[in-house]
Structure 1
């Protein structure tokens, strides 16, 4: 999860190459509960990993490089 759209877009572009993803990640705006202001939104870069082959700690480190954090389902 990232605090602004620009950072999320940059991370979405970079994550494909860094982790050799077969598909494009989805960029999703996550508004905070009760907030209508777009500046209060957080941005998610959603990566599908149905086989569980990707390393969560590597994704967490990647997110931290972009001042974000990892949220798992």
Structure 2
């Protein structure tokens, strides 16, 4: 199976950092997720940003439904590729 990239959208940096740590424990990731700040269009205020966790799933083994549920625990969601 080819590599899949999953993107989890989280509401703030604290949630994103905590989720990144929990992701590795729950899903036994081979590499740490990439944490990216995504400023909303036209907003300069740091409060108006979403945080993204980008996961590279080289074997395509992560279950999208499980990632959806995980992101929901942090008031976030998984973007469809």
Separation in 2, partners of 1:30, 1:59? 20
Which 4+ runs in 1 deviate beyond 4 A? none
Unaligned runs of 5+ in 2: 1-8
Measured after TM superposition, the shift of residue 52 of structure 1 is 1.4
Which structure is higher in RCO with an 8 Å CA cutoff and minimum separation 6? 2
Measured after TM superposition, the shift of residue 50 of structure 1 is 2.8
Normalised by the size of structure 1, how large is the TM-score? 0.94
Normalised by the size of structure 2, how large is the TM-score? 0.85
Residue deviations 1:13-67, cap 9 Å, x none? 0001100101100100001111111110000111101321110000000000111
CA RMSD in angstroms comes to: 0.8
| 2:27 pairs with 1:49 | no
Task: Say which SS state the counterpart of residue 36 (structure 1) adopts.
Answer: coil
Measured after TM superposition, the shift of residue 70 of structure 1 is 0.6
| 2:15 pairs with 1:2 | no
The number of equivalent residue pairs is: 73
Which position in structure 2 is the counterpart of 1:12?
A: 20
